[in-house]
Structure 1
Amino acid sequence: MKNLFVKYSVLIFLILTGILSAQIPDSISVSKLYPFRVDSISVIGNEQTEEFIITRELTFNVGDTLSAEVVQFNRERIYSLGLFAHVYVYPVVRNSVNILEIVVEEGWYIYPVPFVTVKEKDFKKLSFGIYLKINNFRGRNEEINAVTAFGYDPAYSLNYYNPNLIGKEDFFLRTGFIYSDVNNKSPSAEILYGEKFSQKFFRTHFLIGKRLSLFHKLYISAAYNYYETPKFIFGINVSGERIDRFPELQLGYEFDSRDLIQFPRNGIFASASYAFKGLGLNSINFNVARIDFREYRKLIGNLYSKWRFTARFTQGNEIPFHDYSILGIDEKVRGYFTRKTEGNHFYFTSVEFFYPIIEELNLDFNFIPIIPEQLLKFRIALYSQLFGDAGTTQYKNQPLSINRFISGYGAGLTLLVLPYNILRIEYAIDNFGNPEWIFDLGVSF
C-alpha cells in the first residue's frame, strides 16, 4: 500500500507542477459552433474497433441538432466503453456540410499483469497473482479474462463477455466459472463453527440478455453452485450434508443513463434482480432479491452530487450463512469500514457532494522508449468530496428500526487514472465521533 501511495503522490505532483504535457479536450474550443445540426457522423482512429460499437452508444441521429452539453455527454458514453485512451468530439463544417467528427485513440487490449488485491477492503487480507485480460476481442468489445490468485481466498477463474452476440441485434452474453478456497465471511457462522474456516467453492454461470433500447436491459441467467465445508453444521450447510450443491435461476433488469461509467457525473442507474436458488433440489430452496438506485447530477457551477439506495433481501425457511446479507464486504459504511454486520436483509444509503480540483487532463508519455504508446496515455482527474453513509441489517421477523442504523460521514480525495484505476483517500467519522482513514481503489459508487 505504501508503494501505491507513493506512486500516486508522485503522479499528482507531476500533474500540478506541469512537468507532464497535458491536453484539454479540443471540443471545448469550438463551443461557438453550437447549436449544431448533424448532417454526417465521421469516426476516426478506430483501427481495431468496429464503427458500430461506437455509434450504438450515441443518443442522437443524423439530422438532430445538438448542444455542447449533449455532445459532451455522448463523448463520455463512448469513453465508458473502456476501449479508448482518449476520445474527442469535433463539430466541423466542410463545404457547407456539418460533420460531427468522433476521434478515438485506442488503448492497449491485452493485459497479462501481476496484481495485488485488497479483499473485503481490508489490507490484512491480500490476494495476489496473475490477471490476464484480452479486451476488444475481434474489435467488437468482447472480453476474455482469466485470474490465478493466491493468498487470501485463492482462486482460479475464466470469464467471457460478448455485448453483441448476434450481429447488431443487441443480445449480450456472459459466461464463465470460478473455483476458490474462500474464507467464511459470516460472523454468525464463525461462532457456530467455533473457529475461522474456509469453504471450497465452485460456480459456473451462463447469462443472456437483451438491450431493449439505449438505456434499458433485461437478462436471465442460470448457474450451478458448490459449497464444501470441512465438517457439517446445520445452518452453515442446509442440504443435510457438508456439501451443498444447487442450481440457480435469476431474472434481472437494468436502467443506465450515466455519462462516464467509470466516474459518473450525470444520469441514473437502477437495477433489480430476483434469484431462485436450489429450486427444491437437495432440500435447498431460497430466494434472493436485490435493488439498487443511484442518481448523479450537477448542482451549481462545477459542484456535483450523487446519492444511492440499495437493499438485499433473502426469503426461505433455511438460508445458508454464505448467502446472508452482510454489510462490511461489498457495501461498507465509511466510519465502520472493517466492521461486519449480517442478517436476512440489508439496507444501505449514501450521499456525496464532489468538486473537481483537476476536472480533466489527457496525458501522453510518448517520450518513454520501448513501452507501447497505447500504455502511455491516460485521462487524469482529481476530485474532492464530502460524504455520508448509513446502513443496517435485519433478520426475518425482526422489526426495522431507525435506531439500528450505523452511520458515518467525512471528506476525501479521488484520483482518476483512466482507463486503469481510481484511488480514494478518505477521512471518516462514525456515530460516536471515532475517526478512520480509508485508502481504497475504485469509485465509491
Structure 2
Amino acid sequence: MPKGLNLFFFLLFFVLENRLLVAQEKQPLIISEIKFIGNKVTKERVLLREITHILGDTLAKENLEKFLVRVQSNLMNTQLFNVVNVNHVFFDSLHIGIYIDVIEQWYTWPIPIFEIEDNNFNTWLKTTDWYRLNYGMYLERENFRGRKEEVIAKFQMGYSEQFALQYKIPFIDKKQKHGLGFTVSYKGNHEIMYNSENNKRLLYRNEIDYARKEFYARVGYQYRKKLYNTHTLQAYYYNVSVLDTVNKLNKEYLCGNKKENAFFVLTYQFKHDKRNFSNYPVKGHYFDIELSKYGLGVFSKEPDFTTFQVWAKKYFDLGNHFYLSFATKLRASSKKNVNYYLLKGLGYGSDVVRSFEYYVIDGQCWAFQRNQFRYALLENKLFKIPIIQSKKFNTLPVSIYPGVFFDNGYIKDASQRINPLANQWIYGGGISLDFVTFYEMVLRTEYSINMLGESGIFLHFVAPI
C-alpha cells in the first residue's frame, strides 16, 4: 500500500477516535447507585427527598462537584445530622455511585429550661434581674419515627409559667409534599410590658395574680412541592386576659379597652430557601413573604387588621475564605392604631438594628437592613473528642468568623408615645466574632457603636444574617 494511503488511513483513524472520545466526554453521567451510611434512625426515603437527582438520573460531568456540594447542604439543612460527607465512585466512564455518610444527632432531649425572658439577652444582661428567670423542662423527640417528625412537651415555671404541646408532621403523603403541625399552649405572666416611653419598656408586676393570661391553639398546613420552596397556611386561636390595672395603665393594650380578647389569626407564608447551611449560611439566598389577617369577624371587640412582612437575604462567596452578605426585613400594618398586645416593633428578639439592643422602638410599620463582611478563620474543622465514645457527640465541627458589620433601619409610629428613635433613620456598626459548632449552636460576640455615640459589647445566639 502506498505510503500516502497509509498516512491517509492513519489520520482518518486518529480523527474518528478523537471524535469518539469527545462524544464520550460530552455524554452525561448516569447515577447507578445511591447509598446512605450511618442513618440508623432516619428513614432512607426522608433523605432521598432532599436530593435533587434520583437513581437512574443523568448528570452533566461538569456539574458533578456542584451536585455533591448541594447534596451535603440539603442534608445538613434538615438539622438531623452533625456531619454529612458525600463521595462518588466511577464504575466506568459513564456510571457513578453516590455514597453519603452521616452522623446523626441525638434526637431525644429532656432539656432543662434555664432561660431569661426579656426583649433580648443584652437587655437582661444590663440589669441581671433574676426575677425574669424561667425554669422547667422540655421533653423533645426530634426525628420521631425516623420521619423528621417532632414532638415537644414544655413545662415551665418562674417568670412566665407555660405548658405547651407541639406535634409537627412534615410529610403526610407518600410523595412527601404535604405536612401538618399542631400546637396548644397556656401561659401566665406576673410581669408584663404594657407600653414604652423614651424607647424603654414600661413594666407592670403583680406578685399574687397573673398580670396576663394567654391561651392559644394552632393548626398548620405545609406544601413543599420542590426542594427549596415551601407554602405554609396557619390558623391560630387566641384568648388573652389582663388585670384591670393593665387596662388603666394602657387603655389600648387590648382591643376595645377590654380585659379579655378572643380572636383568630390566619397566616400565609411563602418561603424560598437555597442557603448552604441554614443555621449559619455564607452562600446562597433566602426569601420569605408573609401575610397575616388578625380577626375574622367571629368575636365582638376583636382586632381587625392585616400585616405584610418580607425577609430577603443574599450571600456572596468572594473567594479566599471571604464572605459578604446583605439582608432586608420590612413589616407593614393596614391600621395605624394597633392594640399594644399585638404591636411588633424593633428591639424584640432578633428584630433589632445592631448597636440598639438596649432600646425598644414601637411602631406599626418598620424596615431594617443589615450588611456583613466576614472572613473564615476556621471553617467546618472537625475535632475528635477521644474521651467521648458516642459518635453523636465526639465529632465537634467548629467554625470561627471574624467580621465587620453595618445596620440601619426606620420605624414609623403613628401613636402618641414619646419614643424619640421612632420616625427617623437609625444606624450603627462594629466588629464581630462568630463561633459556630454542632447542634445548630451559634455564639456571636459584637462590639458596636450607634449614631448616638453609644458603644458596647453584645452577645447573640443566632446567625447575624
State the partner residue of 1:220.
233
Judged with a 3 Å threshold, the aligned counterparts in structure 2 of structure 1 residues 228 and 412 are, in CA distance, closer, same or farther, namely: same
CA contact (8 A) 1:389 1:408 kept: yes
User: Of the two, which has the highest radius of gyration?
Assistant: 2
Q: What is the correspondence of 1:251-262 to structure 2 with a 5 Å cutoff?
A: 251-262=268-279
Judged with a 3 Å threshold, the aligned counterparts in structure 2 of structure 1 residues 248 and 256 are, in CA distance, closer, same or farther, namely: same
Which of 285, 297, 302 is matched with 1:268 structurally? 285
2:387 equivalent to 1:392: no
- Secondary structure (helix, strand or coil) at the match of 1:249 reads strand
CA contact (8 A) 2:275 2:286 kept: yes
- How far apart are residue 106 of structure 1 and its match? 1.4
Q: Deviations over 1:109-168 (max 9, x none)?
A: 101021323432233344332122101101111111222223333322221111112222
Which of 138, 150, 154 is matched with 1:143 structurally? 150
State the partner residue of 1:41.
34
Which of 305, 308, 320 is matched with 1:286 structurally? 305
CA distance in 1, matches of 2:202, 2:43: 56
Question: RMSD in angstroms over aligned alpha carbons?
Answer: 2.6
State the partner residue of 1:425.
445
- How far apart are residue 436 of structure 1 and its match? 1.0
CA distance in 2, matches of 1:308, 1:443: 12
- How far apart are residue 195 of structure 1 and its match? 5.2
CA distance in 1, matches of 2:133, 2:262: 28
State the partner residue of 1:114.
112
State the partner residue of 2:396.
378
Letter of the 2:109 partner, please give it. Y
CA distance in 1, matches of 2:370, 2:231: 26
State the partner residue of 1:71.
68
CA contact (8 A) 2:336 2:364 kept: no
- How far apart are residue 416 of structure 1 and its match? 0.9
Count of aligned pairs between the two proteins: 406
CA distance in 2, matches of 1:155, 1:190: 31
CA distance in 1, matches of 2:165, 2:316: 36
CA distance in 2, matches of 1:407, 1:115: 35
- What's the TM-score, normalizing by structure 2? 0.81
CA distance in 1, matches of 2:194, 2:346: 10
Which of 302, 318, 337 is matched with 1:299 structurally? 318
State the partner residue of 1:358.
378
CA distance in 2, matches of 1:402, 1:189: 11
- Secondary structure (helix, strand or coil) at the match of 2:160 reads coil
- How far apart are residue 220 of structure 1 and its match? 1.3
- How far apart are residue 255 of structure 1 and its match? 0.9
Q: Deviations over 1:356-398 (max 9, x none)?
A: 11111223324336xx442333321111121111122212499
State the partner residue of 2:53.
60
2:347 equivalent to 1:334: no
- What's the TM-score, normalizing by structure 1? 0.84
CA distance in 2, matches of 1:194, 1:354: 37
Letter of the 1:216 partner, please give it. N
CA distance in 1, matches of 2:180, 2:454: 46
Judged with a 3 Å threshold, the aligned counterparts in structure 2 of structure 1 residues 339 and 189 are, in CA distance, closer, same or farther, namely: closer
State the partner residue of 2:17.
none
CA contact (8 A) 1:306 1:352 kept: yes
- How far apart are residue 420 of structure 1 and its match? 4.2
Letter of the 2:142 partner, please give it. N
State the partner residue of 2:164.
157
CA distance in 2, matches of 1:430, 1:254: 32
- Secondary structure (helix, strand or coil) at the match of 1:343 reads coil
Judged with a 3 Å threshold, the aligned counterparts in structure 2 of structure 1 residues 378 and 186 are, in CA distance, closer, same or farther, namely: farther
CA contact (8 A) 1:39 1:63 kept: no
CA contact (8 A) 1:365 1:373 kept: no
- How far apart are residue 189 of structure 1 and its match? 8.8
State the partner residue of 2:9.
none
Which of 415, 438, 444 is matched with 2:458 structurally? 438
Which of 131, 134, 153 is matched with 1:127 structurally? 134
- How far apart are residue 226 of structure 1 and its match? 1.5
Judged with a 3 Å threshold, the aligned counterparts in structure 2 of structure 1 residues 134 and 48 are, in CA distance, closer, same or farther, namely: same
- Secondary structure (helix, strand or coil) at the match of 2:341 reads helix
Letter of the 1:220 partner, please give it. L
CA contact (8 A) 1:75 1:87 kept: yes
Q: Deviations over 1:391-423 (max 9, x none)?
A: 22212499xx99812111011111112124111
Judged with a 3 Å threshold, the aligned counterparts in structure 2 of structure 1 residues 420 and 267 are, in CA distance, closer, same or farther, namely: closer
State the partner residue of 2:294.
277
Letter of the 1:179 partner, please give it. Y
Percent of matched pairs sharing the same residue: 22
CA distance in 2, matches of 1:70, 1:194: 53
CA distance in 2, matches of 1:420, 1:214: 21
- Secondary structure (helix, strand or coil) at the match of 1:325 reads coil
Structure 2 gap segments, 5+ residues each: 1-27, 206-210
- How far apart are residue 219 of structure 1 and its match? 1.8
Letter of the 1:291 partner, please give it. V
Of the structure 1 ranges 248-257 and 387-396, higher mean CA displacement relative to structure 2 is found in 387-396
- How far apart are residue 105 of structure 1 and its match? 1.5
CA contact (8 A) 2:310 2:330 kept: yes
